A and B are shown apart, each in its own frame.
Chain A
Amino acid sequence: MHLLEVENLTKRFGGLTAVNNVSFHADEGEIVGIIGPNGAGKTTLFNLISGFLKPTSGTVKFKGEIITGLAPHKIVNRGIARTFQVVRPFRHLPVIANVMVSMKSPRGARKIEWLKTIERKALDLLEDVGISELMLEPAENVGHGDLKRLEMARALATEPDLLMLDEPFGGLNPLETDYLIKSILRMHLDEPSRGIVIVEHKLYALMKIVQRVIVLHQGEKIAEGKPEEIAKNERVIEVYMGREM
């Protein structure tokens, strides 16, 4: 049984088919990358899995149970956490409170022990992603790179079994990218059973960490395999670079 199983997922917006008959799976402890050019339907696929959009047809199974059509917060409480492509912090709240909101959810509150307060746990998470010195700063004063990390801390606070990162490296400079790669890998080592799905444009950063890559093009899955195979796949190169005349 796979951790996440997506079967024949289709989403149409009027006449436009954003996601067309996509099937893939992610296992426990696996890092899966989803790549594709602009408008390939990567974010729509994410929204379908996390419940923000309802699919036209097809099913999403998580731990063997069908979760298609569930409300987003219910899906989070089953163990799928996601981040957003465009950062969505709670601007009026301090950074640490942003993380504590996740811990008010049933799943986030589940593992708080009586000696470890919610504040302590939130601070630990901020330390993991490396922004603990900003903890009392209102989120509106925090820069974009740190907000990206905050997004990840917020997703991790719900203790997900599957973490879905939507363009985590978008808008980061090479230094920040390297730091984020390291923290994702460290997180993977800390919690080896957690599955991670990453949608990304920056192939260079992505190829370093993923074990399997799925390529989307115009809503359809065109290739799947190990990073090295995908890098040599002619169809993928054609989609990304264009064809020789």
Chain B
Amino acid sequence: MVIHYLKRAYSSFAAHVFDIPPRLLALLLFMLLIFLPITKPDDYIQRMFRDIFFFATLAASWDLLVGRTGQISLGHALFFGIGAYGTALLYKYFGFPPWVTIPIAVLIGVSISPLIGSPCLRAKGPYLALVTMVLPLILNTLFKYSPLLPITGGERGIGPLPPLIPVEFFRTIGFSGRKAYPMVDLANYYLGLVLLCASSIILYKIANSKTGMVFVSILDDDLASKACGINVTRYKLIAFAISSLFAALTGATYAHVITIVNPSGFLDITLSFLPVILTFLGGIGTLYGPLVGAHIYFIIHRYVLQTTHIPYLTGTQWTFTRDLIFAAVVIILIIKWPRGIARFVTDKLQDLEEARDLDERGKWIWKKYKKEKTK
């Protein structure tokens, strides 16, 4: 009885306290991320968040294709790699600055996407996933192929690439000598943040536009979309192109952050699966899910499991155990919240809102009842 009353009191309290509009919440988080490097100038955390920003963008672009259009692609590393290699090769052979090579690399990625998409998107479901999964692997092997070594550099890759904002820039604005180097990292952090915010907003706008509505109709029932007069192939290709645009943009920018482009860093199979894990962790089809998922994934990865010493286990034994524990944690999270953690939270907030509505209605009825009684 008492517990029931306390529960009811809590839900009524929570419903009024947690009534924050999602836009304000996003803005608050954004402010927090802006001030993070200033309040805590720890380059380790800074780099972790920088990686989070880039991979969250990659995962959000994957989510538009898979969560909204339903075209399961397991080869998102392909466009990430094409963007990175595009910008690296352009720099290597023409010596253009990053601000020129990145847009050209993105353009290459987008123009390749219909060539890859039009044969691949004929396949459906798991077959599509398998076909797309092979593509980055082919490119991976091709770049390590010995006749191509002078061009691609094999596993050693191409580099060093210039950072997006060069050290000289910081020297000219007054950071002398060694002090200029941390500033490059800081600039990369903010670039990642800007990239994440800009591309999330654009992706969100696209997904909630009328074109995004057609994407969801293809996810739900492509036969019915055809019966509505929608050219399904065309819309699939549009979704594929948008998705590859953002993947190539992320890859090209990230190449200038890491400064070395090699197959294991930009075309590896793990890079194809990373967006999948991040998206499922956060909630597929939401577009903010991948963002939440990326934060959770990388924070667990870098913090909870980055302890180097543990008794009774030697170095390699511990790294294997660590990977196992990490995988188990991610699997448990996904099993616990199959619809994604971000969705779970928004669902809870919605429940609270409904509880508040009920609460207010209850009060109203109570007032009416008392009024009638006094009559």
Contact = CB atoms under 8 A, between A and B. Distances in A.
A106 B232 CA distance: 13
Nearest to A93: B216
Nearest to A50: B227
B217 A90 contact: yes
Given A84-B224, A90-B221, A76 B229 contact: yes
A81 B224 contact: no
B231 interface: yes
Nearest to B227: A82
A91 interface: yes
A104 B210 contact: yes
A157 interface: yes
Interface residues of B, number: 20
A107 to B, nearest CB: 6
Contact of A101 (B217, B223, B231): B217
B139 interface: no
Interface in B209-253: 210-211, 213-214, 216-217, 219-221, 223-232
A102 B228 contact: yes
Interface in A43-93: 50, 52, 71-73, 76-77, 81-84, 88-93
Contact of B217 (A71, A76, A93): A93
Interface string A136-179: 00000000000000000011011000000000000000000000
A54 to B, nearest CB: 14
Contacts of A88: 221, 223-224, 227
B331 to A, nearest CB: 26
B227 A101 contact: no
A154 B221 contact: no
B229 A77 contact: yes
A89 B216 CA distance: 11
Given A93-B216, A101-B214, A108 B221 contact: no
A208 B327 CA distance: 65
A104 B223 contact: no
A96 to B, nearest CB: 10
Interface size grouping (class) on chain A: 20 to 34
Contact of B231 (A73, A81, A157): A73
Contact of B228 (A71, A118, A154): A154
A186 B336 CA distance: 52
Contacts of B220: 89-93
Main secondary structure of the interface of B (DSSP, over half): helix
Contacts of B219: 92
Nearest to B231: A73
A118 B211 CA distance: 13
Contact of B210 (A82, A89, A118, A158): A118
A105 B228 contact: yes
A164 B247 CA distance: 43
A90 B227 CA distance: 12
A213 interface: no
A81 B217 CA distance: 17
Contacts of B232: 73
Interface of B: 210-211, 213-214, 216-217, 219-221, 223-232, 285
The 4 closest A-B pairs by CB, nearest first: A105-B229, A76-B229, A88-B224, A90-B220
Given A91-B220, A158-B228, 14 more contacts: A52-B227, A71-B231, A73-B226, A77-B229, A93-B217, A93-B220, A101-B214, A101-B228, A102-B228, A104-B210, A104-B214, A104-B230, A108-B229, A154-B227
25 contacts: A52-B226, A71-B226, A71-B231, A76-B229, A88-B221, A90-B217, A90-B221, A90-B224, A92-B285, A93-B217, A97-B213, A98-B217, A101-B228, A101-B230, A102-B228, A102-B229, A104-B210, A104-B211, A105-B229, A107-B229, A108-B228, A108-B229, A154-B224, A154-B227, A155-B227
